[in-house]
Amino acid sequence: MIRGILFDFGGVIHDMRWDVARELEETHALPRNALFETLYRTPTWKALECGRGDRLAWLEEAHRLLEARGGRALPRLHDAWRTAQRPILENVALVRALRPPYRTAILSNADASLRERLREGLGIHDLFDAVVCSAEVGIAKPEPAIYRLAAERVGLPPEACLFVDDYEPNVAAAREVGMAAIFFRIDRGHDLGAMLGDVGVRPAR
C-alpha cells in the first residue's frame, strides 16, 4: 500500500518550459536541445549536483559552451529560459491535497540552492515532509542509495513509496529499489492527478 509520494522538482513540481527552450533555440539557430545539454549534460553539472563545484562557474561555462555550439556571441539564453520557468500550480495543489494521509517529499538532482528556492522563492517548503537534494547528500539519481535515503527520510520502506519523475531512467531506477513509479511529462499533456488515481492514490480532500 502506497503511503508516501516522492516528487522530482524540475519537470514535476516546476515547469521546465521546454517550449520556451525550443523557441530560443529556433530563434538563435541553435541545435535542438542545445540549451539543456550545455546546462545539464556536462561534467561540471554532474559534480555540482553532487555538491562539488561552484554554481556561478557552472552557469558561465554553460554560456561559453552554448556560444561554441552557435559559433558566435549570444545573449544569456540560459537565463531567459530559467526566468520563464514556473511552478506547475495544479501539481502544487495536488501535493497540498494529498497531505494527510500521504507523506510527501522532494527527491531531486539539484544544486544546493534548491531548499532556499522552495522556502524563499516559491513558499512551498512546508508541503513536504522531507527534501532530498542530491547536492546536499552527495549522490544523485539514478543511484539506488538516494531512493532508499528518501524513503528513510519519510519514515517508510521503499515498497510503501511512489516516485514521480520526468526522466525515464530515474523512474526505472526507482522501480529497481521496489518503489512504484510514474513517468510524468507536462509537455506531453500528462495529468498527474489522473495518473496517481490509476495506481490508487487519491487526495483525501
Q: Domain containing 138 — which CATH number?
A: 3.40.50.1000
Query: Do 97 and 48 sit in the same domain of this protein?
Result: no
pLDDT at 204: 76
**DSSP-assigned letter for residue 162:** E
Rounded distance, CA 112 to CA 53, Å? 10
Q: Is residue 205 part of a domain?
A: no
Rounded to the nearest 10 degrees, how much is the dihedral formed by the CA atoms of 174, 203, 108, 159?
Answer: -30
Q: Per residue in 78-95, pLDDT tens?
A: 999 999 999 999 999 999
Q: Are residues 64 and 94 in the same domain?
A: no
**Domain containing 72: what range?**
18-84
Phi-psi region of 103 (alpha: psi -120 to 50; beta: other; left: phi over 0): beta
Q: Are residues 60 and 138 in the same domain?
A: no
Phi, psi (5° rounding) for residue 61?
Answer: -60, -40
Can you give the pTM of this predicted structure?
0.95
Domain-embedded: residue 203? no
Query: Same structural domain for residues 153 and 56?
Result: no
Give the model's pLDDT for residue 174.
98
Question: Contact, 132 vs 107, CB < 8 A?
Answer: yes
- So what's the pLDDT on residue 205? 62
User: What is the mean pLDDT of the segment spanning 172-199?
Assistant: 97
- Give pLDDT tens digits for 93-112: 999 999 999 999 999 999 99
CA–CA separation, 202 vs 205, rounded Å? 9
Helix 55-70 and helix 77-84: axis angle, to 10°? 120
Per-residue buried b or exposed e for 58-90, using 16+ beta carbons within 10 Å of the residue's own CB: bbebbbebbeebbeeebeebbeebbeeeeebee
> Do residue 66 and residue 167 come from a single domain?
no
Compute the distance between CA of residue 99 and CA of residue 124 in angstroms, rounded to an integer: 13
Shared-domain flag, residues 91 and 192:
yes
Distances (CA, A) of 110 to 48, 72, 180: 8, 29, 22
Residue 122 has pLDDT above 70, yes or no: yes
186 occurs within a structural domain: yes
Amino acid present at 5: I
**Residues 96, 185: one domain?**
yes
Domain count, the chain: 2
Whether residue 204 lies inside any domain: the answer is no
- Mention every residue, 6+ apart, whose C-beta is less than 8 A from residue 106: 6, 7, 8, 9, 13, 114, 118, 128, 130, 131, 132, 133
177-182 mean pLDDT: 98
